[in-house]
Amino acid sequence: MSMTQALLQEFENEAGTTRRVLERVPNDKLSWKPHPKSMSLGTLALHVASSPGVIIGWCCEDETIFTGQGGPADPTSTEEILAAHDASVKKVKETIPQIGDEGMQQMWSAKAGDQTLMRMPKAALTRAIVMNHWVHHRGQLSVYLRLLDVPVPSIYGPSADENPFAART
């Protein structure tokens, strides 16, 4: 199995899990925050939904310049969040094979002004930022759901609300 095939297979597994978490985001709590310094539930959910598609675009560049502008928007519905997730997943699934194994070995750098913030192979960018960053924020989102008493789906194993490994009788 090639590197890009392996990344894509792992991404597809994580995408399904992420969608199950995003489906639980309640429309009437999108502006809720666990702390004043935290993102709102809706903003975090939209960030989780859209970040893989944005970040995989960086892999198509040799250098990404960050200007400090932008940030996740405030969604108006769970349906909007799910649509953003589906579009993001589609973009990643189309882009990874286009980059290919050889492209994944090419270097990428992130800059802000004259300062280089990061420099790594595109495979590392995909692993660390597309995947790990995404999973990190999905974990935050699951904590938000718990704090709102929304049932948390099984992610890597059982949750307090869902146990797909339990014996069926």
Tens digits of residue pLDDT in 100-151: 999 999 999 999 989 999 999 999 999 999 999 999 999 999 999 999 999 9
Residue 71 has pLDDT above 80, yes or no: no
pLDDT score, position 108: 97
Q: For residue 156, tell me if it sits in a domain.
A: no
Residues 4 and 124 sit within 8 Å (Cβ to Cβ): no
What CATH number is given to the structural domain containing 13? 1.20.120.450
Q: For residue 152, tell me if it sits in a domain.
A: no
> Coil, strand, or helix at residue 8?
helix
Structure tokens at 123: 């495979």
pLDDT score, position 72: 67
pLDDT score, position 154: 94
Whether pTM exceeds 0.85: yes
Structure tokens at 2: 């090639």
Average pLDDT value over all residues in the chain: 94
| Structural domains of the chain, count | 1
